[in-house]
Amino acid sequence: MNIIQSGEILGARVEGLDLSQPLSPAEFVEIEQALGRFGVLSYPKQVLTSLQLKQFAERFGQLEINVANAYQEPGLPEVMILSNKVGPDGKPLGLSDAGQDWHTDMSYSKMVAFTNILYGLEIPHRHGEPLGNTEFVSMHAAYDDLPEAMKQRLEGKTITHDFAKFWDMMRAKPGSTRGPLTPAQRAAKPPVSHPAVMVHPITGKKVLYANPGYSMRINELPEDESAEVLAFLFTHQLQAKFQYKHRWQVGDVLMWDNLGTLHNAVPDYRPDEPRYIKRCQVMATRYFDVAAA
């Protein structure tokens, strides 16, 4: 295995590893460390069954099963389809608008997401350039670059995250087919709180754990002050100097660290430009205790 750094703020390419085969303990440790350090890892030219994708993913922690969602591989509910394609019956083959604004996965959940693992089977291109890039920002860098007074101000603070914030924002976009959350869906995902600053379980360094997709409120501050600080943090953390983009190629497996990065799926392709991706969401069960959370 050869890990080649992008030379940018995030990102490395892992070559010489066939993900259809089990990782050795040494390979696992090397990858886990690299994921903490580089935030986003890509493995080009993989040929995987859905079961092999699931088996690779579950080495990193418990997999999430998205109960509310229909776009699951038959018999493998941990593998979900992200796609803008429709079947012969006109029904969508996958979730078509996943992640289309800045967020980090499952910050709205008591047990947050650790790494999301995507396998690109169809990637739109135009004039030879890939479309539907996935963009990232580094929360190690964003934390380090905060003014000292802001670091002090965030110390010991917690933030409320709410699933409904991203849902309602996506719903308000033109052409959205999302309906309002049902009372049952709403009840299944009540708001949760997490520390505003976390010590990253792999790097041991502090990261900013806030994101415009789900973060609602800094609990210990008055409402107006919370709104002001969150607005500052959202602008701060999305600065171009913290950004990295993955340009997809067919066969890429892409995994990112949800504790140390935010991401955004760029919807710059048309319905007649198919994108088809399989995904496994890995929760942070290796690092956090769900009972304690």
Interface residues with ligand OGA (CB under 6 A) are 82, 98-99, 105, 116, 134, 263, 265, 277, 279
Question: Using CA atoms, how far apart are residues 192 and 12, in angstroms rounded to an integer?
Answer: 32
215 binds, among Mn ion, ligand OGA, none (CB under 5 to 8 A by kind): none
CA–CA gap between residue 197 and residue 123 (Å, rounded): 35
Out of ligand OGA, Mn ion, none, which partner does residue 279 contact, by CB within 5 to 8 A per kind? ligand OGA
Q: Does 105 bind Mn ion (CB under 5 A)?
A: yes
Q: What minimum distance in Å lies between the beta carbon of 170 and Mn ion?
A: 12
Place of tokens 């392709």: 269
Q: How far is the CB of 95 from ligand OGA (least distance, A)?
A: 8
Size of the residue set binding Mn ion (CB under 5 A): 2
Q: Record the tokens describing residue 38, joined without a space.
A: 């580089």
> Which is closer to ligand OGA, CB of 31 or CB of 117?
117
Rounded to 5 degrees, φ, ψ at 264 are -150, 125
Question: Cβ of 105: how many Cβ atoms within 10 Å?
Answer: 26
Name the E strands within 74-196: 76-83, 113-122, 125-126, 129-130, 134-138, 158-161, 192-195
Q: Which is nearer to Mn ion, 106 or 218 (CB)?
A: 106
- Per-residue contact string for residues 57-96; x = within reach of Mn ion by CB under 5 A: ----------------------------------------
Give the nearer residue to ligand OGA in terms of CB position, either 200 or 278: 278
The answer to the question of residue 99 lying near Mn ion (CB under 5 A) is: yes
Q: Which of 267, 33, 88 is nearest to 14 (CA)?
A: 33
DSSP 39: S
Q: Cα 183 from chain centroid?
A: 26
Site of interaction with Mn ion (CB under 5 A): 99, 105
